[in-house]
Structure 1
Amino acid sequence: MELIVSAIRINGDNNLDIELICPKGNELPTFTPGAHIDVRTPSGQIRQYSLCGSHVYRRVYRICVRKDVSSRGGSLSLHTDLRVRAKVTVSEPRNLFEIPHARRYLLFSAGIGITPIITMARCLVTDESYVEWHHYEGRRSSVAFLEEVSSGNLKNVTTLYLSDEGASFRKSVPECLLRPDSNTAIIACGPDGFLTLLEKRVAEAGWAPAQLYSERFRASPVGSLNNKAKGEFVVKLASSGQCFTIGAEDTISHVLLKNGIPVELSCEQGMCGACLTRVLEGVPDHKDVVLSATEREACNQMAICCSRSKSPLLVLDI
């Protein structure tokens, strides 16, 4: 759908806060905390951004985009080329990062990983759920939504850790992580290094893996540590019986499209879930950041834009 940029603001160092509205002022499709939209950036690339505004007020979509020095053009073009009143093509909201059911919630975020977490924090505080939120950033001037998290209801549940003040997740672990509790969900978003360390801390403390729900910014590089998965494998389409060989440098989606098989794609990085496809036979080698640990272990779906195979043959529900 085509929306209009109604406002652009600075929201911390290198963070651009963007509001999008319907050209006719109509209400927008509903979303729940943790949802994202696909955005066609001025560079023409499609990128995924978490919705960080109110999920109750339906006339505005709000995203916050950090300028990434390693950007391939998407976030950078939003910072340099986007203007108020510009038209922007976006998808309807999708949510692959829903708030799980639990009695208690521990929220962890780092950097621009604050964007999905703040919507969850608002919702949980409003619902009077037990919640602790631990947010990590390099310096105070870089914190997005600083005024909001430093005042009102969020102030009561939020702790900020700033690296330039000597506080980092590598140096110390919050007390709440040292007390495993079966009724608690740990929800986290941030850079890969932060989440990898969090996973390690959670495991060391004795939490069950299924209690950690996380969203990463980037998928793993294509290719597997398993030598067998580095080479070719065969994909069979259940509907037609057609078989295609996927080379070491190919992706399943690319090979299928090249052979005229329609495939739904969006990010092509394993981050959005648009290409998730049912697996009927075989063992996927997951490279996405969408599926949870439990979903990966089930081996019944995969992101065909980036994931590969641990078995010689995969039968897909296509």
Structure 2
Amino acid sequence: MNGQRTAMSDGIDVMVSKKEAIAEGVMHFEFRPASGERLPAFTAGSHIDIALPNGAIRQYSLCNAPQECDRYEIAVLLEPNGRGGSRSAHGDLKQGDEVRISAPRNHFALVPARHSILIAGGIGVTPLLSMAEQLTRSGASFKMHYCTRSVARTAFAQRIGVSAFASRVHFHHDDGDAGQRFDVRQVLNEPARDTHLYVCGPGGFMDHVIQAAQAAGWAEECIHFEYFAGAPADTSHDRAFEVMLAQTGCVVSVAADKTVVQALAAQGIDVPVSCEQGVCGTCVMRVLEGEPDHRDVYFSDAERAANDQFTPCCSRAKSYRLVIDF
């Protein structure tokens, strides 16, 4: 919890100005500044951290148009078997409440391109909505494919239907007609260096789309994605290792059942953390020596192969010792 407080110490106080159910299991929230001033500017693909009533800090993508700095909008899917963040948002967060958020951060930014393809799975539509707004405003070429289990679980359908980009969006529902089903190979059958792909949604859905893109010959630098949660890691073979802080020479042992963040905290060394799943990048540290065991979804394959950074909230070490710059 010390790390969580550190991560939000410079936060922004906002008021919940709107809360409404917009699809089965999906709650839409609007936040406005408690001070009456404008909120920090953001770009499409950005997310914010939110300190929820149950004490958890979670990340949610902004889904409104980037030029709208009088408010931020997010949507939260209820995850009954999650870690409690979505339950607190749905059940505890009320219209009129004041909450603390972080300034927007963007690890999923748009890249200038001749054409863009946006593929959303379920609640993964949130950052892509903001991208669609920005691309439309700039007059850029794009198509969007929005995949859900059913019409009832399709958040923002009404908003998309009356938007300036409605004609560019194709809806695909699992329970719809066969002709409406999402054919990923057909959508991605023409890779080009000046076309960029953006994917967001559940992990299995994203893996399917990314693997299809790679099989079709898409270049890695043209595939952009953002995971909402890290995949559960196999911890059955975890072993103890050491981390050494390069600046002080302090050596800390990390037990097999503890994370680096937990081990450092036990020695009075607080690391700013937020998601604790290797998603947000808040805790990233530089690695000077040793080989990390990467368990994040934050870094690209090329960044992991460089072995010069890691996420201490979830990643471990393949070598006996990691020397870190912190």
Find 2:170's aligned residue among 125, 140, 159.
159
Question: 1:274: which partner in 2?
Answer: 282
CA distance in 1, matches of 2:251, 2:21: 51
1:1-318 residue pairs with structure 2 within 5 A? 1-166=12-177, 172-223=183-234, 230-318=238-326
Q: Is the 8 A contact 1:29 1:92 kept in 2?
A: yes
Structure 1 residues 130 and 237, CA gap change in structure 2 (3 angstroms): same
Secondary structure of the equivalent of 2:42?
coil
Q: Give the superposition deviation at 1:149.
A: 2.0
1:298 Cα deviation after fit: 2.2
Larger mean Cα displacement after TM superposition, 262-271 or 109-118? 262-271
Name the CA distance, whole Å, in 1 between partners of 2:135 and 2:274: 30
Question: Matched residue of 1:165: which SS?
Answer: coil
Q: Which residue of 1 aligns with 2:8?
A: none
Whole-Å separation in 2 of the counterparts to 1:67 and 1:168: 29
Aligned to 2:4: none
Question: 3-state DSSP class of the match of 1:164?
Answer: coil
Deviates more, 1:85-94 or 1:99-108: 99-108
C-alpha contact (below 8 Å) 1:223/1:248 kept by paired residues: no
Given that residues 147 and 182 in structure 2 are in contact (C-alpha distance below 8 angstroms), is that contact kept between their aligned partners in structure 1? no
Where does the alignment leave 5 or more consecutive residues of structure 2 unmatched? 1-11
Q: Which amino acid in structure 2 is aligned with residue 286 of structure 1?
A: H
Conserved in 2, the CA contact under 8 Å of 1:162 and 1:168?
Answer: no
> How far off is 1:253 after superposition?
0.8
TM-score by length of 2: 0.91
CA contact (8 A) 2:173 2:181 kept: no
In structure 1, give the amino acid aligned to 2:120: S
Measure the CA separation in 1 of the matches of 2:242 and 2:280.
Answer: 24
Match of 2:242, SS state, is strand
Between the two proteins, the alignment pairs up a number of residues equal to 315
TM-score (norm 1): 0.93
Whether the 8 Å CA contact 2:59–2:275 is kept in 1: the answer is yes
Q: CA deviation at 1:145?
A: 1.1
Distance 1:99 1:161, change over 3 A: same
Q: Is residue 138–residue 163 contact of structure 1 (8 Å, CA) maintained in 2? A: yes
- Percent identity of equivalent pairs: 36
Amino acid at match of 2:209: L
Q: What is the CA distance between 1:312 and its match in structure 2?
A: 2.3
Shift of 1:208: 2.1
Which letter maps to 2:275? C
Residue type at the aligned position of 2:89: L
RMSD of the alignment, in Å?
A: 2.0
Q: Deviations over 1:267-299 (max 9, x none)?
A: 212121110111112222221222222322222
Cα offset, 1:171, TM superposition:
6.6
For 2:135, the aligned partner's letter is L
